[in-house]
Amino acid sequence: MGYNILILGGTTQARQFAEAIAGRAELDCVMSLAGRTRAPVTQPVPVRVGGFGGVAGLAAYLRQHRINVLVDATHPFAATISANAAAAVRQTGTAHFAIRRPPWCAQAGDLCFEVDDLSAALDHGSIGGRSRRIFAALGRQELQPLITAPQHYYLIRSIEAIEPRLNVPRVRYVLDRGPFALDDEMALLRAHNIDLVIAKNSGGDAAYAKLRAARELGIEVCLIKRPVLPEVASVDTIEAAVSLLDHMLSSPAGEEAGRVVGADDAASDLGMERGE
């Protein structure tokens, strides 16, 4: 008997999870991408692209495609789609869990502080007054607040060109796609004489090298706190995600067509966390 799995993706972890289950004949997997990147990386499973049309649209998709398990492997800052997923599965009764990487924590030797958002970062006492050389490791659509602080030099890295350009006098753009190696991150920070990194507290390995590089070079880091995410069954590794999926599918309820055991029950059987 086959099962339909929908993965909400757009992250390295989503691709790794898809890779881990792609070869299994009993699983029909689809990866959903928002469509933000014009040339997304190749995925190991079929892909659909674009929004669903809010909670109602996602619920309709789950019903129409008889999705057995919805796996939310989106980025921890993609709070809207995660909230929509939690609401849609409540409507349809679809089993659901999230893959959530733990947030990064400051380690001994880090010059690191956290703020609520980019505006708070720019207003922060240790940044605001003087001119800094800032690596703004942020998404294309999140950069606008930088124009309120034109006294700084900004280094912006993105997969696709930033258009329109930011209206600040000193800015350099680098086009590149992660994951990035520690040596390359150190070379980038040195080449631009960076003295502050501003980044989202994304967690995980794929984007961590810039923080290690900052630590090695004694550079200050300002981390933007995560948004509040819905409390759902969640795991933080690909291995745990595969185990939880298998547990849901192998439960007696999972063998009934179109339905599997509730994610919360399965997660609690496996000793998994609920929420962040």
Chain residues that interact with ligand NAP, rule: CB under 6 A: 8-11, 32-34, 36, 51-54, 57-58, 74-75, 77-81, 84, 139, 200
- Helix spans in the chain (H): 12-21, 54-64, 79-92, 118-123, 125-128, 182-191, 209-217, 238-250, 263-269
Comparing CB distances to ligand NAP, the nearer of 81 and 134 is 81
Shortest CB 219 distance to ligand NAP, Å: 22
Shortest CB 102 distance to ligand NAP, Å: 16
Shortest CB 185 distance to ligand NAP, Å: 17
Comparing CB distances to ligand NAP, the nearer of 7 and 260 is 7
Shortest CB 41 distance to ligand NAP, Å: 11
CA dist., res. 2 & res. 34, Å (int):
26
The number of angstroms, rounded, from the C-alpha of 204 to the middle of its chain's C-alpha atoms is 9
Comparing CB distances to ligand NAP, the nearer of 81 and 248 is 81
Cis peptide bond upstream of 76, omega within 30: no
Comparing CB distances to ligand NAP, the nearer of 75 and 101 is 75
CA dist., res. 205 & res. 152, Å (int):
29
Residue type, 210: K
Comparing CB distances to ligand NAP, the nearer of 245 and 261 is 245
Would you say 115 and 225 are in contact if contact means Cβ atoms under 8 Å apart? yes
Residue nearest to ligand NAP (CB): 51
